[in-house]
Amino acid sequence: MFKQACITAFALLATHAPLADEQRLSAEVLWQLDRVGAPVISPDGDHVVVPVTSFDQETDEPSTRRWLLPADERGTARAITADGMSASSPVFAPDGSALAFVSKRGEDDHGQIYLLPMSGPGEATRLTQMPTGASALRWVGEHIYFISNVWPVQSLEQMAETLAAKEDD
């Protein structure tokens, strides 16, 4: 099952590679290749989520999309996060019904936790509004745990004001 998912991830990478048969491997060509990261397997073992990072040739900025791969040959790979936005720290709900991840979208100043239902196509919903962002997700039971840098003596509103003042300074 995992072997098939790895083969699918390699095939996904190969189909996005801009290499022609005659082109030599160079630093420029390496920057054009998509990079497949560490897989996350759903609790039921039916799906694998892998990050695929690509770099914009003009801005040299990375973009990481999450791809949902079937663990066997019964389905097709599909992107589950938006193009042009990065997503990190994916974790499945214990029952496999949803995927939580960290992303910086729209007006987000820092990465926030988003929740994507796994029952079918749909858009992720933002769960947090942490002024300092969230990272290193862990889903245990009904709770999602995360790490965020905070000032213990300040409320969330006060932290947002402190960050805005530091940005303006």
Residues 78-136: pLDDT tens digits?
A: 888 777 677 788 899 999 889 999 988 877 778 899 998 887 777 888 999 888 889 99
Domain ranges of the chain: 1-84, 85-169
> Cα-flanking dihedrals φ and ψ of residue 108, to 5°?
-65, 125
pLDDT of residue 115: 92
Q: Residue 31: what pLDDT?
A: 77
User: Cβ neighbours of residue 41 under 8 Å, at least 6 residues apart?
Assistant: 2, 5, 47, 48, 71
Helix, strand, or coil (residue 55): strand
pTM for this entry: 0.73
- The helix/strand/coil state of 32 is helix
The whole-chain average pLDDT of the chain stands at 80
Half-sphere exposure of 71 (CA within 13 A, CB side): 12
Contact 105, 85 (CB under 8 A): yes
* pLDDT tier at 145, thresholds 50, 70, 90: very high
Higher pLDDT, 143 or 166: 143
Each residue of 12-27: pLDDT tens digit?
Answer: 555 555 555 567 888 7
Asked whether residue 64 carries a pLDDT value surpassing 70, the answer given is: yes
Mean pLDDT confidence for 146-162: 86
pLDDT at 14: 54
The pLDDT assigned to 5 comes to 52
- Strands 143-147, 78-79: pairing is unpaired
